[in-house]
Each structure stands twice: as C-alpha cells, then as structure tokens.
Structure 1
Amino acid sequence: MSDHEHQPVAPLREDFLAADLYGYQELLTDRENDVVRRVRAFLEAEVRPRANEFWEAAESPRHLLPRLAELDVVGLGYDFEDRPAMSKVLTGWLGMEFARVDPSTGTMFGVHSGLAMGSISILGSQEQKARWLPAMRRMEKVGAFALSEPHGGSDVSGGLETTARRDGDDWIINGGKRWIGNGTFADVIVVYAKDEADDQVKGFLVEKEFEGFSASKIEGKYALRAVQNADLTFENCRVPAANKLEHANSFADTAKVLRLTRGGVAWSAVGLMLGAFERAVAYSQERVQFGKPIGSFQLISDLIARSAADITASLGMAVRVAQLQDAGVFHDEQAAMCKSFTTTRAREVVARSREILGGNGILLENDAVRYFADAEALYSYEGTSQMNNLIVGRACTGLSAFV
C-alpha cells in the first residue's frame, strides 16, 4: 500500500479552511481571526441548517437581521466613533464566509453593508453619514442599491433612463430600476438617476414611504433565490434635497462605489467555490463505489485538485485586491480582472462539484445544485466577464475596444 493512500489532507491549522492550502488566513491579525471564528460559528448554527429551505421557498432570511446587528459586523469597513474601520482583507474574508455557507444570505448582507452603506460612506455628506450609517450598522434601517434598469445592462454608464429633476427644495424622480437586491423590504434605497439639467448621474436616498415609489418582487428567479430582487418604479417620486448624496454628481462618482464592490463580488465567488468544494470533498469521502470511497479514484482526485487550485488562485487574487484597497492604490482594471477571473473559475468549480456528486448533485438536499445555480448570478452581475475583460484589455494596450 502506498504511503500516501488514505491520508486525508488536514487544514494548515485547526481553524483554517481545508481549501486554504497556502494559508491566506495567516494574513489576518489575531483580532480579525476572532471575528472570523465568531461569524463562522454563527453561519454554521443559524444559516446553514435552513439555507436550502429559504432558497427553495424564495424567501429572504430577514429574521437574521437582528442577529447580524448583535454580531457587530455590519459596516466593518467604515469609521465609527466607537469602532474604527477594519481592513478590507477582513471585510472581504467575511463576505467569503457568508457565501461559503449561503450566497443568498451573503448577498443580502453585502447589498446592505457594501453597496448601500458604501454609497453613503463614499459619496454622502457628513450629515448624511451621521443620519444613516449608525442606524444601518444596528440594522434598524436596511439598505438597497438601485443602478440597474429594465432596458440597461453593460451600457449603464451612459444609458440611464431614470431621470431626476430639481423642483424647489425637492427632486422629482421618474423611471424604473430592476434586479434590486433587498428592494422589497429596504428602508432606504440608494437610487442613481440622470439629472435632466446636465445629463449627469446623481445619487439619491429614497425612503420606502416616499410617495410615488413602489417595489415588486421579481418572480421565477433560479439563482440566489432567497435574495429579494425587485422591480422599482418611480412616478413623480418627490425626494427632499437633503436626500441627494452630496458627492454623487457624475457616473465617475458612482464608479468609485462599483470599484469597491467588484472586489466584494470576487470574495463571494471564492466563498461559493469553497462551499461547493467542501460538499464535494465530503461526498467523495462518504460515497462508496466498487468497494472504495470515490475520492480514492484518480478521476475524482483530479477534479478535486483542479478545484483546489482554482480556489487558491482566486483567493490569492481577492486578498491582493483587498490589500491594494487598504493601501489606497486600487485601480479599475484590478477590480475588473479580479471579478472576471474569480466568477469564471466559480462556474467551473461548481460544475466539477456537481459532477462529483453524480445524480445526487441535482438534489437540493445535497447543496451542490444551489451553489451551481447561484454561480450564474455572480458571473453576470457587477459587470459581465466580457465587459470587465475590456477594461483590463484597455489598461494593457492603452486602446479601448468599447463601442
């Protein structure tokens, strides 16, 4: 018998993930690792047992919102008087931990803590930050982010149909938004609209009770099913001037938020890969065929090894992006390449994981098919792979292939 036969690979440390073969978790400080362990325990106890139930029912686990507030991990990337901002490596790692257990719950959390709070933190006035961010940290106010539109996708930078018009002390918004996560229950929605006066994209904080605003859940969605994506409608929706984001005055300003969150999508993609990979590895150890666990077959081992390499490469890229963000030297092409690469690899990893489970892989009870479907959403949103590759190509050649 070979010396290597039947010797399972153990994590580098007891609290490390088995697929973190290069030990990236070592980059976290002791304090940051304490946060990771606390969140990981919460996700295993509170989210994993019901993740498939909420996914199948297409219902959002909103009961978790108070518990998230108790964990005090909401808005960790932003400064508060009693809690200075923590590193992007940590906040990204937490996004990965969420997606590893349930990408839908991770998206609900990320839309609120990343896109919505990030828009206010980056583009809001001091007064707007003081008004909204503490309440959003406590989950007393839930946020959403509204940029995508029914007729707009990759051309959103120049093709917004939602308009805003100044009217005395208010702004009047008309139009519609689509695919808005948390949109059915959010208390405040960051809405981007084109100013009729100068054709520039401006940002607004629309509160759910504003007259002329309505939201309806998108039905028949077969990825991230527990995320409440909504169609939003604005019919002469009157927004006080105080709710116009002070520093959101062009699409270049909006892009500052997207540059930050594309890195977040990469972390989610890594988490999704990890979740599918871990399920496949466990199955390969348990499933016996021809008298042996299938993990001892070379074909299965090859699939697992290739997935481990894809996860390791993607995690390394996500970590480096977070380090660049922390250093303040982060560029569009770095965000674009990370998002495109990791979500493409995610598609491949979840397909291999489902393959390892064979016919059992299409049963929701075995998790793999949930990750398989959810990967399609991550692959498409925050810029398609092709559009992000054009950004990278432009940076490499100095020539734009955009039309």
Structure 2
Amino acid sequence: MTFEHLTSDFYGYQNLLTDREKNALTELREYLDAEVRPIVNGCWERAEFPHQVIKPLAKLGMYSYSWPETAPFTNSAVFRGFVALELSRVDASVATFAGVQNGLVAGSISACGSAEQRAEWLPKIASGDVVGAFGLTEPLSGSDAARGLQTTARRDGDTWVLNGAKRWIGNGTFSDITIIWARDVADEQVKGFIVPTDTEGYTATKIEGKISLRTVQNADIVLENVVVPETLRLQEANSFKDTAKVLRLTRAEVSWSAVGNAVGAYDAAVAYSKTRMQFGKPIGGHQMVQDLLVKSLGNITASLGMVVRVSQMLDEGTQRDEHSALAKTYTTSRMRESVAWCRELFGGNGIVLEYDVARHFADAEAIYSYEGTQEMNTLIVGRSITGQAAFI
C-alpha cells in the first residue's frame, strides 16, 4: 500500500504520522474516492443521506479511533484530524455524520458516561449498529446554551421525564439514540441522557430548504413527557461544564473539517486550471488564476499548521478551550475565503455541482457557524487574552 501525500499539504505535515496511521488513511482515501465521491453531488442535490456508507465507514474505524474501548490501534490526535480532513475533502456532509457519530455521541458517552455505559454503548456506536444524534441546540438557545437551555428533566423515582425542543440536530431523522441535554428542575444543572428515539413522546421532523450541508439530515426534535430510566442518564454529566468537555474534544476536529473542505475546493480548482482552455492555453498559465491558487494554498497551509499543533496539544494534555476556539475561528474564516477564491476560478461553471466546487462553497457556510459561531469563539479567545469576559 503506497501512501500519497496531498499536494495541498505543502509543508508535509503528514510526515508526522506513523506508517500504520498512513496505511489507515490510505484505506480511507481509496474508499472515499471509489464509493463516496461518485454519489455525493446527487445526494447533496436531492438532500438525501447515503445510508450505504455507514457500515463501511465503521469498518474503516471512523467511529472508533478516538476511544480506548474501541480503537483498532493506538493513534494520535493528528491522525484523527487528518481523518476528518480526508472526509471533508470529499464531502463535508459525510464528515459531519461521522463527526456526530464519533465525536459528539460517542464523545458524550466516553466523557460523561459510567464505565458500564461506555462498555455497553461505545462498541455499538463504533460498529454502526447504533446511529446517534446530539441534542443540545434549541429553537431559542444556541450560543447561550450554558444559561439559556430550556429543555427540562424532572426526576420521578427511577426515571426522568423530559420536556422541550431541540433544533438543527444532525442525523436526527434516522438516529437510534439521541444524547439529550436538559436542565434538571431540582438543581437547575444541565444533565445528559441517552434517549432511544422510539420512546413515546419523542418526535423528529426534517428541516427542509437548506442551502448548506444538504445531505446532513438535520431535525427539529420535540420531547413531550419522554420517560427515560436513570440507567440512561449519563452518570458523570452533572453540569454544563461536563457538556463543555465534549465540545472541547470536538471543536478542534471541526477545524480540521474546515481545512478539509477548503482542500476539496482547492483540489478541484487545481485540476480545472490544468484542463480549462482560454486564450489558447490552460487557465493555470494565467497570472490571476495562479494568484487565486496561491492565496488558497497559503490559507490551507497556515490552517494546517494551527490544527496540527492544537491536536498535538490534545495528545499532550495541554489543550485549553481558547486553543481550540482560536483554531475554529481562524480556520473557518480562511476556509470561507479560500472556497470563494476557488469557486471564482471556475467562472460560471463554479455554480454547477458537476465541477465539484459549488458544494464546498455552499457547505462552508454551515461549517463556519456550527460547533460555536465565529463570534462566540472570538470571545472565548478574547477572554483568555484580556482576562475580561465580554459575552454580554
């Protein structure tokens, strides 16, 4: 098996990976190029999720690498970042599915579940036998979830009764379980619950009309007197600080996905610049086209340096909220610039799906906003710089 470096990895950060990690990345790349890339534009246009990819991605370790209970081999956070990059390079929607399944759902159980809950649920999630969703955002509570969460949980003997609503829940229309975060009416603290989606009183409705990440099946969820046993309460989730542990783990991975989405647009632009003829030669031979490519590569290279270091800090145990927040705010901004430049290079063809840049251009808008908006991540870093909180 021969490992090929991405041409967009201009400074060779992939050389930090072990041979085993490179082999696993090659297997993923080969599967994505052969089985996923040919179908993603059609799925995006129809706003349909390709369920046939769930099990093959599980076999490739996409939902198991992060957790000691399920990891097929010892691996680094940098490797896991490159996995997110490879997924997003081909399709940000499939990357989002894997990120929810692995990072948010398995991450919630790994960070906040008991040993028994981890042993029961993580293998099922890793195998793809159970598909999960993550229910934190609400119709009236997004960035202010720490204070503004309105979904309630009331203890009733050995059960909990949940009431409320959630919005923008990825995988929400077809998940088997959803991690629901709710405020305990007794102590006003946020707690987490593993909620089977066939529970009476639980309903999920697909959000229609999206212009970004159309393949992701986002749902509005309503909880009406949903009864959950105490055994499905995440035993180590006792306040929003515990919820934040999960978000801290996933925010850096979203930064990697932002880089991957930019790389996907850049790869398409480079290929097009070599084949599109204008004024008697390939457009790649024109100065202004090279300028667009060089600026995009500069953004990608700077962003890669940042996310690689943040992932190394995660392995070292030194990463803090402000480190992942700076990565999220910087890489998504540079992604937004880069996909626009790459789309520009295509001229009118850049708005047509078949040229494989329009989807990256549109999907950038969702990546820019989810897992912490630009403004919230800026304020997290600003608080670290100045020692002053400026959230309100």
Q: Find out whether 1:359 has 2:353 as its counterpart.
A: no
Matches of 1:267 and 1:39, distance apart in 2: 16
Which residue in 1 is equivalent to 2:311?
322
User: For 1:260-275, what aligned pairs fall within 5 Å after superposition?
Assistant: 260-275=249-264
Tell me which of 383, 388, 392 is aligned to 1:399. Answer: 388
Deviation per CA, 1:300-329: give whole Å up to 9, x if none. Answer: 111100100100011111111111111111
Is the CA contact (8 Å cut-off) linking 2:70 and 2:122 kept in structure 1? no
1:171–1:392 Cα change, 3 Å: same
Q: Find out whether 1:94 has 2:83 as its counterpart.
A: yes
Deviation per CA, 1:280-314: give whole Å up to 9, x if none. Answer: 11111111111111111111111100100100011
- Aligned-residue sequence identity (percent) comes to 54
Tell me which of 104, 109, 113 is aligned to 2:102. Answer: 113
Is the CA contact (8 Å cut-off) linking 1:75 and 1:114 kept in structure 2? no
Matches of 1:228 and 1:211, distance apart in 2: 21
1:82–1:283 Cα change, 3 Å: closer
Q: SS where residue 194 of structure 2 aligns?
A: strand
For residue 402 of structure 1, report the CA deviation from its aligned partner. Answer: 1.4
Matches of 2:170 and 2:290, distance apart in 1: 38
Query: Which runs of 4 or more aligned residues in structure 1 lie more than 3 Å from their structure 2 counterparts after TM superposition?
Result: 81-85
Matches of 1:157 and 1:90, distance apart in 2: 31
Matches of 2:58 and 2:262, distance apart in 1: 27
Matches of 1:195 and 1:346, distance apart in 2: 39
Matches of 2:17 and 2:25, distance apart in 1: 9
Which residue in 2 is equivalent to 1:239?
228
Is the CA contact (8 Å cut-off) linking 1:223 and 1:373 kept in structure 2? yes
Which residue in 2 is equivalent to 1:191?
180
Letter in 1 for 2:157: G
Gapped regions of structure 2 (runs ≥ 5): none
For residue 82 of structure 1, report the CA deviation from its aligned partner. Answer: 7.3
Tell me which of 12, 34, 56 is aligned to 1:67. Answer: 56
For residue 14 of structure 1, report the CA deviation from its aligned partner. Answer: 6.6
Deviation per CA, 1:195-241: give whole Å up to 9, x if none. Answer: 10111110000001111111111000110000000011100000000
Matches of 2:71 and 2:335, distance apart in 1: 37
Which residue in 2 is equivalent to 1:3?
none
Matches of 2:343 and 2:305, distance apart in 1: 24
Q: Find out whether 1:378 has 2:388 as its counterpart.
A: no
Which residue in 2 is equivalent to 1:203?
192
Letter in 2 for 1:316: G
Which residue in 2 is equivalent to 1:140?
129
Matches of 1:186 and 1:286, distance apart in 2: 42
TM-score computed with the length of structure 2 as normaliser: 0.98
Which residue in 2 is equivalent to 1:282?
271
Is the CA contact (8 Å cut-off) linking 1:263 and 1:318 kept in structure 2? yes
For residue 70 of structure 1, report the CA deviation from its aligned partner. Answer: 2.3
Is the CA contact (8 Å cut-off) linking 2:199 and 2:226 kept in structure 1? yes
Q: SS where residue 65 of structure 2 aligns?
A: coil
For residue 83 of structure 1, report the CA deviation from its aligned partner. Answer: 3.5
Matches of 1:39 and 1:218, distance apart in 2: 30
Which is further off, 69-78 or 328-337? 69-78
Q: Find out whether 1:36 has 2:22 as its counterpart.
A: no
Count residues in correspondence.
Answer: 391
Q: SS where residue 148 of structure 2 aligns?
A: coil
Matches of 1:119 and 1:145, distance apart in 2: 9
Matches of 1:348 and 1:320, distance apart in 2: 22
Q: Find out whether 1:219 has 2:211 as its counterpart.
A: no
Q: SS where residue 355 of structure 1 aligns?
A: helix
Which residue in 1 is equivalent to 2:291?
302
TM-score computed with the length of structure 1 as normaliser: 0.95
Is the CA contact (8 Å cut-off) linking 1:218 and 1:228 kept in structure 2? yes
For residue 69 of structure 1, report the CA deviation from its aligned partner. Answer: 2.2
Tell me which of 344, 348, 373 is aligned to 2:333. Answer: 344
Is the CA contact (8 Å cut-off) linking 2:64 and 2:71 kept in structure 1? no
Deviation per CA, 1:162-202: give whole Å up to 9, x if none. Answer: 00000011000000000000011111111100110111110
Which residue in 2 is equivalent to 1:19?
8
Q: SS where residue 158 of structure 1 aligns?
A: helix
Matches of 1:211 and 1:61, distance apart in 2: 27
Tell me which of 349, 367, 387 is aligned to 2:376. Answer: 387
1:190–1:68 Cα change, 3 Å: same
For residue 87 of structure 1, report the CA deviation from its aligned partner. Answer: 1.4
Which is further off, 78-87 or 302-311? 78-87
Is the CA contact (8 Å cut-off) linking 1:277 and 1:353 kept in structure 2? yes
For residue 152 of structure 1, report the CA deviation from its aligned partner. Answer: 1.2
Matches of 1:84 and 1:37, distance apart in 2: 15
